[in-house]
Amino acid sequence: SRTHDFLQALPKCEHHLHIEGSLSPTLLFRLAATNNIALPSPAIDPAFASPAALSTRYEQFSSLDDFLHYYFIGMSVLLSSADFESLAYEYFCRAHADGVHHAEIFFDPQAHTSRGVAYDTVVKGLSAAQERARKDFSISSKLILCFLRHLPAGDAKQTFNAAQALGHFSDGTVAGIGLDSSEVGFPPELFREVYISAKDGGIRRTAHAGEEGDASYISGALDNCHVERIDHGIRVVEDDVLMKRIARNKTLVTMCPLSNVRLRCVQSVSELPVRTFLDEGVRFSVNSDDPAYFGGYILDNYCAVQEAFNLTFKEWKYIADGAIEGSWCDEERKSALL
């Protein structure tokens, strides 16, 4: 349709994409076989009977934690730099087809180092894919190192120090830090120290907040961790003063519509605060989060928002411009994207 074509052609930026969440059930089973990784026995969890069975299970997540259980098992098949490179390059191919010009990609180093895969192995593979995406598709991209919030803050600090020791923040290999995994019970203030170190080092900062957690997780991330962006952030509508502050400061909120439906944060896309954000001047982008788990890549998410809200071309242009303005690329690249 005309609108689908318009949304496809609209130059898009993706800011909320976990690269480990782009691992499809097919690739998961193939890598498990090649790398000799034992998946859970289908006798214990029938979801692991086949890629098709796993896909079906992904349609029935009951919560963020139910999803994370599968997410961490899934990524256990990734071992070599080549595995990470092919995973990320496959994402870039799909992103290019969907009209993405700039991507800022989360990765979870602790989920790999904890099972014996070196931080540098992960980053080498991802960086190689970024370089190929730049050459083949003119896609610019950044890496955002995420800390797992269900693990102690000391582990996050160690991970931060390892990346810094390699010079990855100063040489641009990693653009910034994020915070993900189970939200409720793991408030952002636990990670205040590592975020202050990042701020002092001129390193960009974001955090998942207000996905399952209430609005206090969002104010906690702003006040204690000095984040420049809020990932998900849909529960900001529960605190009008906070919402007006986020609008005034042009803090980018990275919304993930299909993720929010699949993880039962909302019952349908129409419940998301898209209209409220447009009316209140909250800048936000539309993203896929974990596309292989949530039934859609970025264009599917744009189309789902269009189905639910029937936005005008002008409103879409406003959203896309906000996404460019909230990106962590230099001003020269921003001008080229606008």
Structure-block tokens of residue 57: 């299970």
- Of ligand ES4, Zn ion, none, which one does residue 101 interact with (CB within 5 to 8 Å by kind)? none
Asked if 209 and 233 touch (Cβ cutoff 8 Å), the reply is yes
What are the helix (H) ranges across 147-273? Answer: 153-165, 192-200, 215-225, 240-248, 257-262
Number of amino acids touching ligand ES4 (CB under 6 A): 11
Q: Is 16 annotated for ligand binding?
A: yes
**Which CB sits closer to Zn ion, 108 or 289?**
289
Q: Is 14 in the site for ligand ES4 (CB under 6 A)?
A: no
Query: Which residues are within 8 A (CB) of 132 and not within 5 positions of it... i.e. 6 or more apart?
Result: 85, 89, 92
Which of 140, 219, 254, 259 lies at the binding interface for ligand ES4 (CB under 6 A)?
Answer: 259
* Nearest C-alpha neighbor of 286 from the set 306, 264, 310, 312: 306
The question of whether 183 is a catalytic residue gets the answer: no
d(CA 290, CA 146): 14
Q: Is 228 in the site for ligand ES4 (CB under 6 A)?
A: no
d(CA 197, CA 225): 10
Element (H, E) at 318: helix 313-325
Query: Which residues are within 8 A (CB) of 193 and not within 5 positions of it... i.e. 6 or more apart?
Result: 153, 157
**Which CB sits closer to ligand ES4, 64 or 230?**
64
Q: Is 85 in the site for Zn ion (CB under 5 A)?
A: no
Q: Which residue's beta carbon is nearest to the bound ligand ES4? A: 180
Q: Rounded to the nearest 10 degrees, how much is the dihedral formed by the CA atoms of 174, 177, 183, 185?
A: 130
Which of 12, 15, 18, 283 lies at the binding interface for ligand ES4 (CB under 6 A)?
Answer: 18
Amino acid present at 278: L
Side-chain-facing half-sphere of 148: CA atoms under 13 Å: 18
Q: Is 289 annotated for ligand binding?
A: yes
Q: Which residue's beta carbon is nearest to the bound Zn ion? A: 289
Which of 81, 113, 130, 181 lies at the binding interface for ligand ES4 (CB under 6 A)?
Answer: 181
Q: Is 112 annotated for ligand binding?
A: no
Q: Is 101 annotated for ligand binding?
A: no
Could you say which residues in the range 50-79 bind ligand ES4, by CB under 6 A?
64, 71
Please, what is the minimum distance in Å from the beta carbon of residue 155 to Zn ion? 19
**Which CB sits closer to ligand ES4, 191 or 316?**
191
**Which CB sits closer to Zn ion, 83 or 289?**
289
Q: Is 229 in the site for ligand ES4 (CB under 6 A)?
A: no
Q: For the stretch 43-78, what's the b/e string if a residue is b when 16 or more beta carbons lie within 10 angstroms of its beta carbon?
A: eebebbeeeeebbebbeebeebeebbebbbbbbbbb
**Which CB sits closer to ligand ES4, 82 or 184?**
184
Q: Is 289 in the site for Zn ion (CB under 5 A)?
A: yes
Asked if 255 and 29 touch (Cβ cutoff 8 Å), the reply is no
Between 133 and 172, how does the x/- string for binding to ligand ES4 read (CB under 6 A)? ----------------------------------------
d(CA 53, CA 300): 22
Q: Is 104 in the site for ligand ES4 (CB under 6 A)?
A: no
Asked if 194 and 148 touch (Cβ cutoff 8 Å), the reply is no
Q: Which of 14, 104, 211, 228 is catalytic?
A: 211
Instruction: Note the residues at the interface with ligand ES4 (CB under 6 A).
Output: 18, 21, 64, 71, 180-181, 208, 211, 259, 289-290
Active site residues: 211
Binding site for Zn ion (CB under 5 A): 289
